[in-house]
């Protein structure tokens, strides 16, 4: 089938590559010529395990093309995926200008039936706005070409995006047209083999499902973080509590890991956007507000613990950071906890010396040549001259470090484990002070 994807970012490229992989002819469109040049010359603008190879194979096989030509995109695909960004407005609500400009381009150039598929995370009611934008442009052109708008939100996780797309937990198709639902069912058939994971529903419920899922997941994390702070205060160990409650299948073990807060491009943005939607409709979403507030406080926790340890004076102190990305297996640093820690250290007159397996370039892009940020070539070098170590991202390679070596390198040997990934007893046995989240300090 012929598929056009507007937006060659995270969701667009993964969707395009996976649809091409199963035999479709995919044309990816982006307004950024630099991105398209890079893709045409064999590069990939984002870091995602397996994506570069998948794109290369499909480009070489002639099933994946890249262009800035929106008109060519509209002519190409029966399916017109909209996978452009929906950045937050000043008040946190989703900015739809890119989505609607794609809708207008489709309205401008379409000569025959098209299915517009909203893949970006968009507020409830966006499909109506997309349809209105297409109709408006068609009216100005004096034409009336048939089209449908479908809500088909994406649920992939960064770092596991290909696997998530290839073997989805669910495929949500929101449409009011049964014929369109069947066309989408055919497109997704290769990803829907073992048992039927495709759910059709009305458009608004599909749009809302995406926000509901992210809000629920973010709530689990903030709730655990809240419990972890209480556990610390009452002298309980949140890691024991976590396994104790996770064993109840109604609670489950997944997504209840306490830490130094959630980041990324989705949870913070989507929780805020849903809050704004509710407020705009006159509903006060108290729980959503608290989820975000707890996360904000949690991101400041590592700094607070470090500052307390050094008696509130971090002037001239240097802290080694292991991990900069908002989570492992990505170079994405949007809303990453590491940024809150580094920026707080700088504001307090301290320094940060950091290592991340893949996000170093992204850090340089974000902070430039900031003199007070030292990027080390590896985890061990990041310790040289540092007072203490903070673990901010739970990369596997940080999970079993040489504690004796860490003790030797640090000036005031303490580890602040923001993800509870280390064995505190081993750290303490090596003579380190071990501070983690939600556990009374080990002595
Ligand atoms: C999230 C959702 O998990 C996806 O289902 C969704 O499709 C995606 O947003 C999206 O809206 O596009 P992602 O942002 O890639 O995916 O990251 P997650 O793996 O969900 O992690 C989010 C953050 O939560 C990370 O900072 C992670 O460290 C933190 N986290 C996760 C915890 O602190 N504790 C946990 O138990 C789990």
SS3 277: helix
Question: pLDDT averaged over the chain?
Answer: 95
Distance, CA of 169 to CA of 191 (rounded, Å): 10
Tokens of 41: 């010359």
pLDDT (0 to 100) of residue 441: 62
Residues 219 and 182 in one domain: no
pLDDT band at 443; cut points 50, 70, 90: very low
Of 307, 296, 309, nearest to 348 (Cα)?
Answer: 307
Of 277, 296, 315, the last residue of a domain is 296
Mutation test of ligand 1: which of 207, 213, 221, 421 has the most ligand atoms closer than 8 Å to its C-beta? 221
Q: Which helix (H) or strand (E) holds 140?
A: helix 126-141
Of 87, 66, 63, nearest to 5 (Cα)?
Answer: 66
Asked if residue 275 lies in contact with residue 123, where contact means CB atoms within 8 angstroms, the answer is no
Residue 258 domain flag: yes
- Ligand 1 geometric centre to CA of 267 (Å): 7
Q: What CATH number corresponds to the domain at position 430?
A: 3.40.50.720
Q: What is the pLDDT of residues 80-100, one digit of tens each?
A: 999 999 988 888 888 999 999
Report which ligand 1 atom has the smallest distance to the Cα of 121.
Answer: 11
Q: What are phi and psi of 236, to 5 degrees?
A: -105, 165
Distance, CA of 248 to CA of 257 (rounded, Å): 15
Tokens of 76: 């190409």
Of 81, 263, 56, nearest to 158 (Cα)?
Answer: 263
Distance, CA of 84 to CA of 71 (rounded, Å): 16
- Ligand 1 geometric centre to CA of 48 (Å): 15
Q: Which helix (H) or strand (E) holds 82?
A: strand 79-82
Residues 261 and 311 in one domain: no
Mutation test of ligand 1: which of 254, 266, 272 has the most ligand atoms closer than 8 Å to its C-beta? 266
- Ligand 1 geometric centre to CA of 138 (Å): 40
Check residues 34 and 443 and name the one with the higher pLDDT.
Answer: 34
Distance, CA of 326 to CA of 418 (rounded, Å): 12
pLDDT at residue 221 greater than cutoff 50: yes
Residues 277 and 326 in one domain: no
Q: What residues does ligand 1 touch, defined as CB less than 6 Å away?
A: 121, 154-158, 214, 217, 221, 255-257, 259, 262-264, 266-267, 326-327
Distance, CA of 206 to CA of 403 (rounded, Å): 49
Residue 34 domain flag: yes
List active site positions.
266
Residues 259 and 304 in one domain: no
Q: What is the pLDDT of residues 304-354, one digit of tens each?
A: 999 999 999 999 999 999 999 999 999 999 999 999 999 999 999 999 999
Q: What is the pLDDT of residues 46-69, one digit of tens each?
A: 889 999 999 999 999 999 999 999
Residues in a beta bridge with 389: 320, 415
Residue 49 domain flag: yes
Handedness of CA 325, 330, 333, 337 (dihedral sign): negative
Of 142, 175, 201, the last residue of a domain is 201
pLDDT (0 to 100) of residue 370: 75
pLDDT (0 to 100) of residue 432: 97
Distance, CA of 20 to CA of 38 (rounded, Å): 19
Residue 255 domain flag: yes
Report which ligand 1 atom has the smallest distance to the Cα of 157.
Answer: 15
Distance, CA of 39 to CA of 46 (rounded, Å): 11
């Amino acid at each position: 089938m012929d598929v056009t994807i507007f937006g060659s970012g995270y969701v667009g490229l993964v969707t395009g590559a996976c649809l091409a992989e199963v035999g479709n002819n995919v044309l990816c469109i982006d307004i950024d010529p630099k991105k398209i040049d890079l893709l045409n010359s064999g590069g990939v603008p984002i870091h995602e395990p397996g994506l570069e190879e998948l794109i290369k194979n499909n480009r070489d096989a002639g099933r994946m093309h890249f262009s800035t030509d929106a008109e060519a995109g509209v002519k190409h695909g029966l399916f017109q995926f909209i996978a452009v960004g929906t950045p937050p407005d000043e008040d946190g609500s989703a900015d739809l200008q890119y989505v609607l400009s794609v809708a207008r381009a489709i309205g401008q150039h379409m000569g025959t039936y098209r299915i517009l598929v909203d893949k970006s995370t968009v507020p409830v009611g966006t499909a109506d706005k997309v349809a209105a934008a297409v109709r408006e442009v068609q009216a100005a052109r004096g034409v009336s070409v048939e089209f449908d708008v479908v809500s088909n939100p994406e649920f992939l996780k960064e770092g596991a995006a290909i696997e998530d797309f290839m073997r989805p937990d669910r495929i949500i198709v929101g449409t009011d047209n049964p014929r369109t639902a069947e066309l989408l069912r055919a497109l997704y058939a290769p990803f829907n083999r073992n048992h039927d994971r495709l759910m059709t529903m009305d458009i608004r419920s599909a749009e809302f499902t995406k926000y509901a899922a992210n809000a629920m997941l973010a709530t689990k994390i903030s709730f655990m973080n809240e419990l972890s702070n209480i556990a610390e205060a009452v002298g309980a160990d949140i890691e024991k509590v976590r396994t104790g409650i996770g064993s109840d299948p109604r609670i489950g073990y997944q997504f209840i890991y306490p830490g130094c807060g959630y980041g990324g491009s989705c949870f913070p943005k989507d929780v805020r956007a849903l809050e704004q939607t509710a407020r705009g409709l006159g509903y006060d979403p108290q729980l959503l507000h608290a989820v975000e507030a707890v996360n904000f406080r949690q991101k400041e926790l590592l700094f607070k613990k470090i500052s307390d340890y050094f008696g509130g004076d971090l002037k001239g102190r240097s802290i080694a950071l292991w991990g900069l990305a908002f989570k492992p297996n990505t170079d994405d640093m949007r809303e990453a906890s590491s940024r809150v820690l580094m920026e707080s250290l700088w504001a307090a007159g301290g320094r940060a010396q950091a290592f991340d397996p893949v996000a170093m370039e992204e850090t340089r892009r974000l902070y430039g040549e900031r003199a007070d940020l030292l990027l080390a070539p590896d985890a061990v070098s990041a310790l040289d001259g540092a007072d203490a170590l903070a673990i901010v991202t739970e990369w596997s390679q940080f999970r079993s470090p040489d504690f004796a070596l860490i003790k030797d390198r640090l000036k005031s040997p303490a580890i602040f484990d923001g993800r509870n990934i280390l064995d505190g007893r081993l750290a303490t046995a090596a003579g380190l002070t071990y501070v983690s989240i939600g556990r009374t300090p080990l002595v």
